[in-house]
Amino acid sequence: MGKLREFDITFTNNKVVYSPGESISGSVKITTGTSLQYKAIKVNCLGSCGVSNKMNDMSWTLEEQYFSSTLSVADKGTLAAGEHSFPFQFLIPVAAPTSFEGPFGKIVYRVRAVIDTPRFSKDYKAQRPFYLLNLLNLNQMPNIEQPSYAVTTKRFSYLLVKTGTLMMKACSDQRGYTPGQIIRLATEIHNKSGKDTGCVLASLIQKVTYKTKRAVFDLRTIAEVEGAGVKAGKHAEWREQIIVPPLPQSALAGCSLIEIDYFIQVSLKSPETVVTLPIYIGNIAVNLIPSRPMPSTPAPTTISPHPNPEGVTPSAPPAEEDLEEVLGAGGSVSEEIPTKSHSQQDQSGQPPTMSPSAFGYAPGVDLPPSQRRADDTSAPLFCVSTGATIPFFTEGNATPVPTSCPLILPPEYSTWDFTHEPPPTYEESCSSNNSSFNNSRPQE
């Protein structure tokens, strides 16, 4: 740096995650070996979003700016040799969206400092990013505590001359979750044919829409669980659960270029059958007090799962004593579908353990000592979400320690052999009972 030995930006209390409407403050630290003339020393705070049609392309096709504030901390003068500190403070607008980083776009925030030197001299620049978390309160979503439900009937041909009918129902216990919570899933399959079905697969899918001139849809399978097929002529039931890993929140209020949607997809490969359950991922959990009353005598084929009680440690699959409550189906059941594989279980069959700092609302879940960094003795962990988003919560004044999330990572979604067209929006799914999605599937 020549005359400049240090040029850095620090935030008050080393804070890196802020909320809309909050003030961000800090100081610009400059250390010079000799005197340095300057015309001005300025600090700029910027929030913006950019999207592109090409992956990891920083030449954005479209951009939008949320705020840009510049403060002159020193006017024309000379910096004597030694250390100097210039404080700054900015107010973050209340409408600024949550930080996000994806392969086709980003919502980024940063503070930049510039030493504007006299003509023909070199200008000096330094910058530091920060992250914004605009909390999504799930309780503000309509009917969020109600189950998300879908059903479809499939007529298919086999052995050239025979036809069969298959009905598949799927239901989640509610429509909104926060990272660390459990999605309780119940599925019924009526195989009214003489042919065994293929395996049943339940997937948590993330859909990110980048609104360029030609919209880009990024589909990712976040978690998967696979069950066995259903024998010919059988009525089978399957109860499973998926732990919500650290994920970006649904929607990005204040951003018009990026949208985030989530849904549970339950599918059979043979015959090809799919139902989708739209859900929300938020930051403030659904308030289930008073809890929903459960029917005393449920109908024989009605799926009526109950909400996950507070403090339940995630596990998969659910305990046997919970099965009837989750499904809520009375009458005789021909068979139960066994689970073949679960992406959120390790080889020992146990669910993964998680960093408590990875979830803002899942206290008491600890990270094994073997997964902690050797240099991490007291500082909270700094967990970057699956699917790319802001780093999750840090506490106190300790400097965050970057770590990898111990949960699953999204698989390569380009080889995904289910639907390739954009999934329906939440509103479309609710208004049409997935009819547009199901009608688009080719009939065999």
Among 119, 138, 271, residue whose Cα is nearest residue 192: 271
Q: Which domains does the chain have, with CATH numbers?
A: 4-132 (2.60.40.640), 140-351+413-439 (2.60.40.640), 353-406 (no CATH)
Q: pTM for the whole thing?
A: 0.69
Distance CA 356, CA 352 (A): 12
Among 185, 192, 186, residue whose Cα is nearest residue 153: 192
DSSP letter string, 258-293? EEEEEEEEEEEETTEEEEEEEEEE-SB----SSPPP
Among 325, 331, 393, residue whose Cα is nearest residue 359: 393
CA distances (Å), 215 to each of 64, 208, 240, 407, 413, in order?
Answer: 16, 10, 34, 30, 18
Q: Which residues of the chain have pLDDT under 70?
A: 1-2, 289-334, 346-444
What does the block give as tokens for 412? 């390569």
Distance CA 51, CA 38 (A): 36
What does the block give as tokens for 154? 């499939």
Distance CA 235, CA 191 (A): 6
**What does the H/E/C string look like for 197-236?**
CCCEEEEEEEEEEECCCCCEEEEEEEEEEEECCCCCCCEE
Distance CA 63, CA 135 (A): 23
431 three-class SS: helix
Would you say 190 and 296 are in contact if contact means Cβ atoms under 8 Å apart?
no
Q: What are phi and psi of 427, to 5 degrees?
A: -65, -40
Would you say 387 and 206 are in contact if contact means Cβ atoms under 8 Å apart?
yes
CA distances (Å), 92 to each of 137, 154, 258, 269, 391, in order?
Answer: 20, 52, 20, 49, 18
pLDDT digits (tens, 9 = 90+) for 10-32: 999 999 999 999 999 999 999 99
Distance CA 41, CA 113 (A): 7
Q: Report the pLDDT value the prediction gives residue 427, as an integer from 0 to 100.
A: 53
Among 435, 141, 174, residue whose Cα is nearest residue 304: 174
Q: Report the pLDDT value the prediction gives residue 326, as an integer from 0 to 100.
A: 37
Among 78, 48, 77, residue whose Cα is nearest residue 65: 48
What does the block give as tokens for 337? 């579908």
